Structure 1
Amino acid sequence: MVGNRARAAIIWSRQVTGLTPDVIAELVAEVGPLWHERHQAGLASRPRRRAVGAGAKHKLAFVDRLLATLVHLRHGATHDVLACWFGVDRSTITRAIGEVRPLLSERGCTIAPGVRLRSLAEVVDYLGVSGQTGIIDGTEIRVRRPAAGRKDREKFISGKNKQNAVKSMVVTDADGRLLFCSPAQPASCADITHARQLGLVRLLADGPVVEILADAGYQGLGAQTGGRVVTPPHRKFKKDAPDWYEEMHERQRKAHSSRRIRVEHGIAHLKNWRALARHHGRREHMTDTIQAIAGLLSHQQTITLAADERM
């Protein structure tokens, strides 16, 4: 088990976890009871020869399990390194991360203290009520190539980067604050197809009037959503365009790009967490990893913004 001084160093150094001590304290108070409840339910759900609570005790307290998960997500530290750091076996770290990471992914993205968005439908409703503009974009995370001979081995190859990756659709507001990260899909899926599979067209067509900015990969959604999805302007002249048209098109393209650049900043903050820079673990865990990091980052952004407003 990690010592008190090492635990305090992890908590108080934002470079280690990417979170302030206040956010970590809120995570302990919120996620700790959920983890304990699930752990007890798991013990009681299987046949036992001894009563629940008998036998060897945990060598790794929940606080240390949470910190190990945060360090793993932030820096991509391997389970072997974390096991040496926390003074436990590698399998203990693997089990701890496997238990805590899903709990973090279920929290959703924080937009205000105690207010979270957990689905794309909630995001559309929030944008409609607040009158804000949303921005969407797809991001790819490199993953390990499936084993030779495995079915659908080629579906993870990105058509853009020609590498094995998974894709997630990121939604931010006009200021670049994270509102939603979708479950991971194989990178061979096009951005516009992924958006349709998530139900974005139906939510915008049947929901409130919302403006969604997107890049050229989503061209075609505007017609399906009554103009709610705004993409870069089409070129009306493929060759021999008049000078006045080239100047006007370039001006419109830059104006659109300057409005939607905030989503790129939001994705960059996500990629600062090394687990999303390149994923070396199981592809099955990518959805939990993406949504857990999005929830943690949005929570920290909300706390930081609230502190700046008080000053």
Structure 2
Amino acid sequence: MVGTAARALIVSERRITGLSQVVIADLVAELGPVWQARRDAELCDRPRRRAVGAGAKYKLVFVDRLLATLVHLRHGITHDVLACWFGVDRSTITRAIGEIRPLLAGRGCRIAPGLRLRTLADVIAHLGATGQTGIIDATEIRVRRPAAHRRGRNRFVSGKSRTNAMKALVVTDDRGRLLFCGEVRAGSVADITQARDAGLVDLLADTVHLEILADAGYQGLAAQTYGQVVTPPRKRRGKNLEQVQWLMAHHEQARFEHSSRRIPVEHGIAHLKNWRALARHHGHRHHLPDTIRAVAGLLSDQQATHKRKLAALPTGQSR
């Protein structure tokens, strides 16, 4: 069990977890009862010879389990190092992260106090209700190569980066705030196929005048969504030199304006990749979807808290 001084240092130093003390306190208050309720349900669900609460006590309390998971997600520290730091066995850290990570993943992205978006359908409904512009993109995360001679080994090879990767669908608003991150697919899946499999076309069929910016990898969705998915314009051919020059200049200007509007989603992806667990995933591939959603939820919490803090500052005061 980690000492009180070490625990206080982890909580107070934002560089260790990437989160402020306010966010960590909210996480403890929100997830602590949920974790305890699940643990009690597991104990009561099986035949027992002793009363609930008897037997050996936890060497790693809930707060330490949460902190170990946050440090692991932020810096990608191995379970062995965390076990030495917290003074427990490696298996205890592995079990703790396995318990806390799904709880973090199920929280969704925070948009406002009491409002979280957990699915792509929630995001489309939120954008349609608020009239905001959404920005969609896919980001690749390197994963371990499957074992030799295993079936489907090559489906993780990305055609873009030529590495073994898995890709996640990312949606932000026009200010770069994370709205959704998930729908993880193998690296060989095309971006437009991933969006279709996620049900984006069907979800946009029930909306009107909703604008979602996308890159050239999603060309084709504009026709299926009645122009609600906006992609860069395609090149057009002219009949003479003067017309060709005008079309080329107009085309480059239109592409530049479109890419400038899409910059916030690139910033959102960059903030995600600051968490080492997503810079390169060294664990099992089936843990990656929960890891991505957990990091997205934590990042959205920090962004919302930072925005609230800036709004509370007097006018003209610097950050």
**Contact (CA 8 Å) 1:128, 1:210: kept in 2 or not?**
yes
Deviations 1:243-273 (A, max 9, x none): 2111111100000000001100000000000
Assess if the C-alpha contact under 8 Å between 1:136 and 1:170 holds in 2: yes
- Structure 2 counterpart SS, 1:139: strand
Tell me how large the CA RMSD over aligned residues is. Answer: 1.3
Pairwise CA distance, 1:42: 1.4
- Residue 188 of structure 1: how far off its partner (Å): 0.7
In 2, Cα distance between the equivalents of 1:234 and 1:163?
29
| Code of the aligned partner of 2:192 | I
CA separation in 2, counterparts of 1:225 and 1:43?
49
**2:297 matched to 1:295?**
yes
Alpha-carbon deviations, 1:257-293, whole Å to 9, x = none?
Answer: 0000110000000000000000000000000000000
Q: Which residue of 2 aligns with 1:232?
A: 232
Give the 3-state SS of the residue equivalent to 2:205 in structure 1: helix
Aligned residue identity for 1:103:
L
Output the CA distance in 1 between the equivalents of 2:23 and 2:72: 17
What is the alpha-carbon distance in structure 2 between the residues aligned to residue 76 and residue 208 of structure 1?
42
Aligned to 2:210: 210
Q: Give the TM-score, by structure 2 length.
A: 0.95
Paired with 1:185 and 1:43, the residues of 2 have a C-alpha distance of 35
- Secondary structure in 2 matching 1:242: helix
Question: Contact conserved, 1:137 with 1:171, CA < 8 A, in 2?
Answer: yes
CA deviations 1:54-103 (Å, max 9, x no partner) are 11100111000000000000000000000000000000000000000000
Checking the alignment, whether the CA contact within 8 Å between 2:74 and 2:277 is kept in structure 1 is yes
Structure 2 counterparts to residues 1-311 of structure 1, below 5 A: 1-237=1-237, 242-311=244-313
Preserved contact between residue 232 and residue 258 of structure 2 (Cα < 8 Å): yes
Identity of aligned residues (%): 67
Q: Is the 8 A contact 2:166 2:184 kept in 1?
A: yes
- The one-letter amino acid paired with 2:286 is E
AA of the residue aligned to 1:244? W
How big is each residue's C-alpha offset from its partner over 1:126-167, in whole Å with a ceiling of 9 and x where there is no partner?
111111000000000000011112221111110111111111
3-state SS of the aligned residue for 2:183?
coil
Larger deviation, residues 248-257 vs 144-153: 144-153
Alpha-carbon distance in structure 1 between the residues aligned to 2:238 and 2:204: 31
Task: Compute the displacement of 1:208 (Å).
Answer: 4.0
SS of the residue corresponding to residue 50 of structure 1 reads coil
User: Is the Cα contact below 8 Å between 2:183 and 2:194 reproduced in 1?
Assistant: no
Structure 1 length-normalised TM: 0.98
- Post-superposition Cα deviations, 1:103-144, rounded to whole Å, max 9, x if no partner, equal 000000000112100111110111111110000000000000
SS at match of 2:56: coil
* Structure 1 spans left out of the alignment, 5+ residues: none
- Which ranges of 4 or more aligned residues in structure 1 deviate by more than 4 Å? 238-241
Could you list the runs of 5+ residues in structure 2 that have no partner in the other structure?
314-319
In structure 1, how many angstroms separate the alpha carbons of the residues matched to 2:131 and 2:58?
A: 49
State the one-letter code of the partner of 1:51: A
Contact 1:183 1:291 in 2 (8 A): no
| Deviation of the 1:47 alpha carbon | 2.8
Determine the C-alpha separation between the residues in 1 that align with 2:295 and 2:48. 36
Between the aligned partners of 1:68 and 1:118, the Cα distance in structure 2 is 24
CA displacement at 1:206 relative to structure 2:
1.6
Residue 282 of structure 1 aligns to which amino acid in structure 2? H
